[in-house]
């Protein structure tokens, strides 16, 4: 229970600060600290992100930072994508999902470093 509380608080701070939705911390935290399998961690993260995203979007909107048309388009299209992604995730092993998640994190980190250094 304490691990879930710590993961939730940390993910909330990071989501509000960096806009990552919390999943960047939820999935590894659920796997490493709560012992969930990769499939369970990803599924649990999808549900846990809902309130984080709602509150974060509401607060950011109050600052005028939300581009509603872009958000609506991305959100509607992601519904179809998530259905396909869940089916694919369940066809893969937990180890393959962990590797894919790690590679995604590395790719995103590399892109952020590259863009920051070129500014």
- The model's pLDDT over 53-109, given as tens digits with 9 standing for 90+, comes to 888 889 999 999 999 999 999 989 998 899 999 999 999 999 999 999 999 989 988
Number of domains composing the chain: 1
CA distance 113 to 107: 10
Per the structure, the complete domain to which residue 96 belongs is given by 2-117
Closest CA to 50 of 87, 91, 21: 21
E strand map for 6-88 = none
Helix (H/G/I), strand (E/B), else coil: 33:
coil
């Amino acid at each position: 229970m304490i691990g879930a509380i710590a993961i939730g608080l940390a993910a909330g701070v990071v989501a509000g600060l960096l806009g990552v939705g919390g999943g960047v911390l939820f999935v590894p935290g659920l796997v490493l600290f709560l012992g969930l399998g990769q499939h369970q961690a990803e599924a649990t993260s999808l549900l846990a992100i809902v309130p984080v995203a709602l509150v974060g979007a509401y607060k950011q909107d109050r600052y005028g930072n939300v581009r509603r048309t872009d958000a609506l388009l991305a959100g509607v299209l992601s519904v179809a994508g998530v259905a396909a992604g869940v089916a694919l995730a369940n066809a893969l092993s937990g180890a393959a999902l962990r590797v894919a998640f790690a590679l995604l994190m590395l790719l995103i980190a590399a892109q952020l470093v590259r863009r920051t250094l070129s500014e």
